[in-house]
Amino acid sequence: MIIIDKIKNADHQIYAIISYEPNKNYLLMKWIGYITEEEVKFASLKMLAWQQQEGKRKGCKFHVHDTKELESAWAGLVDWINNDFLPMNHQFGLRYNISILSPDLFSKMSSLALSQKHNLKVPTILCETRSQAERWIAEKYAEF
């Protein structure tokens, strides 16, 4: 795993870590703690920048969002993610968005809401663990 960026909030606390898994060719965003919707948007746009600059060239088709340590809702961004963020990433090769569910009810409900939007270009897949997400990715890469 190659760490691309550690994103900090105004209090200089890391709330998101972007990594690239070259052996399985996916981008991982690990979300940590309480996060505002503005912080989610800021960090997500860093994923978009990576997908535009590196992901397309590498043929990266998967973004994984590990929300296991996330303690907040981001349901107010579901429409922005579905209507803007995912289509922008699609232009640069993204085909699947995977959310590893948080035990936090509000975060989990946000992931569920996003998965139910049925984005035809970049669907959101829900998984319980990173290993489950990696198995799913391996199966999909076998289909390409």
Give me the phi and psi of 65, to 5 degrees please: -110, 110
pLDDT digits (tens, 9 = 90+) for 124-137: 888 989 999 999 99
Instruction: Return the DSSP state at 28.
Output: E
* Torsion over CA: 21, 60, 129, 39 (sign): positive
Place of tokens 């999909």: 140
pLDDT tens figures, 76-99:
787 888 889 999 999 999 999 999
Least confident residue range of 20-24, 40-44, 73-77, 140-144:
73-77
Strand partners, 106: none
**Ranges of each domain in the chain:** 2-143
Q: Which of 26, 103, 17 is nearest to 9 (CA)?
A: 17
The whole-model pTM stands at: 0.88
Tell me if the domain spanning 2-143 has CATH number 3.30.750.24. Answer: yes
